[in-house]
Chains A and B, each alone.
Chain A
Amino acid sequence: VNGAELGVFCALFFVITLIGLYSSRWRRGDLNLLEEWGLAGRRLGSFVTWFLQGGSLYTVYAFVAVPAHVYGAGALGFFSIAYALVIYPVSYVVLPRLWRVARDGAHVTAADYVQARFQSRTVAVLVAVTGIVATMPYIALQVYGIEVCVAQLGLPVEAALAVAFVILAGITYVAGLRSAALIAVAKDVLIWGTVIMAVVYIPIHLGGYGHVLHSVPAAKLELDSHLYASYATLALGSALALWLYPHALTGTFSASGADVIRRNSFLLPIYTAMLAMLALLAYMALVAGVQPSHHYGANSIVPDLFEQTLPPALAGFALAAIAIGGLVPAQVMSIAAANLFSRNIYRALLRPGASDAEVTSASKLSSLVVKVGAVVFILVVPATYVVNFQLAGGVWILQTLPAVFLALYARRLDRRAIVLGWAVGTGWGTYVLAQTGFDEATRSFAVFGHESVYVGLPAVALNLAVVLGGSALLRIGARLRARY
């Protein structure tokens, strides 16, 4: 353990804690109301929303796993960049509409909207449960990203994670989404500083970009033609899934206006540039001779690269930036999952008469449970299982697309067809993933000329076919019955 490195790391965590503690007073609202605790009163303007969304969509797991993917698989790992572009035309078109419906109906979660739209508790509960199940492993991966940084510093991992998450859980419990928004602003100053420093300083240290890129084996730089379909379908499938994730919608619903979302649809891609720079760090790690670690595999290459090439104080700064980068997504995800539980399961099923204050307490408590669960999860379950679980989560969350997005455009959808489509898409997707032990996101199918494609995409296509076909058949059936 290096003193300067550790000192800078701890000092930055302390500053973040202070900001979190202050945040409950920021733009004061009645924190016993879920719209205040869980959506910061729907008053976040373009500036704060940019930080909050950027901070929660580009997660610590992306900072760790994207370079790890490029380090291991080469050019295929860059599909994340394509994905992080495709999401923005989607958000520009779809999200302002959803925001307006949510504001007008005082919806806090996607399942609230679905309940109002379909008048069906079944559909709403399916959307809520899918959201929670898909979010849980995602939170655990944030803990994992933080763990990788803490381990690099040489700190005792269990104790450090426990301290970090007790503080984080306390702040979130008290201040809700406000704390995530303010921490996101501070965190981004750190992370932008780190990334810009890294892509300027490290290549100079290694002899320039020309030297780095010429030293990387060609096989890591070029995308093999049999991977084109994987690349495109991974990008498209992940892009369609992203805005269905509860944490992405929490950030959307907390915006103060539809134009805030539109403005962020062209300002948030700036973070994609950051992601691209981080992906380049993988090539630098290859050239610097950084080896995968025993415990974390290639996931440790970026923290290791920082420690090997940067002066200790700067390495501490960089590791803190990445670790703190995991706090904001973990907060927003736990708030989003907690809101789904309190409104769409607790009030809808368990305690129908619950008051607003009671629902808010349920949310605050479940946000604690979710975070503790994530830490225990990552310490007990092997990380590969969590990664596989999160991968399946992406396929599952995609199956809520008809109920949440299509419902904004198509009027004559039948709730029974929505349920059936969800079941078919989820069932088939899970079955295909299970065949490889949830290890592979892509599979080759004879119908697609044996090219490997992302499983989520055919699954949601099946789902959509059932929803549209089923709705049409049920409508015809009803008409015939009315006539005869």
Chain B
Amino acid sequence: VPRSLRSLARLLLLIPFVLPLVVPLYARTHPRLGPFPFFLWFQFALVAVTVLGIGLVFLLRERGDERPR
């Protein structure tokens, strides 16, 4: 994996760190998803985004610090 792509991917770590803290961004009712207000489904969706985002950073990580004892 090229180094530039790897460091770009690491920026994905910022999504689950920053977005949950920018509360005014999602403290609203609309748009709804079915019966769920935005406030709820946005945070539920962030769970999936966190899994995928950090997962991608992991797949593109620099290997080699797993040296055995």
Binding site for B on A (CB under 8 A): 75, 78, 81-83, 85-86, 88-90, 92-93, 96, 100, 103, 208-210, 212-214, 221-223, 225, 228, 231-232, 235-236, 257-259, 262-263, 265-267, 269-270, 272-273, 276, 280
B13-40 near A? 1/0 per residue, CB < 8 Å: 1101100111110010100001111011
Question: Could you tell me how many residues of chain B have their Cβ less than 8 Å away from some Cβ of chain A?
Answer: 33
Q: Which residues of B contact A88 (CB under 8 A)?
A: 16, 50, 54
- Select one of A221, A228, A257 contacting B24, CB under 8 A: A228
B13, A82: Cβ atoms closer than 8 Å: no
Q: Which residues of B contact A212 (CB under 8 A)?
A: 35
Since A272-B47, A280-B40 are in contact, a sample of 20 more A-B pairs with Cβ atoms closer than 8 Å, ordered by chain A residue number, is A75-B39, A82-B20, A82-B43, A85-B20, A86-B20, A86-B21, A88-B50, A92-B13, A100-B65, A103-B69, A208-B35, A221-B40, A225-B24, A225-B27, A262-B58, A265-B54, A266-B51, A266-B58, A270-B47, A273-B47
- Select one of B46, B57, B65 contacting A85, CB under 8 A: B46
| Interchain residue pairs with CB less than 8 A apart (6) | A81-B47, A93-B13, A100-B65, A209-B35, A213-B37, A228-B27
Task: Tell me whether A213 and B14 are in contact in the complex, defined as CB-CB below 8 angstroms, given that A81-B43, A221-B29, A259-B66 are known contacts.
Answer: no
> By DSSP majority rule, is chain A's interface helix, strand, loop, or mixed?
helix
What is the minimal beta-carbon distance from A126 to any residue of chain B, in angstroms?
Answer: 28
Chain B residue at minimum C-beta to C-beta distance from A210: B35
Binding site for A on B (CB under 8 A): 13-14, 16-17, 20-24, 27, 29, 34-37, 39-40, 43-44, 46-47, 50-55, 57-58, 61, 65-66, 69
**Could you count the A-B residue pairs with CB atoms below 8 Å apart for me: how many are there?**
110
Q: How far is A458 from B7 in the complex, measured between Cα atoms in Å?
A: 31
Q: Which residues of A contact B58 (CB under 8 A)?
A: 92, 262-263, 265-266
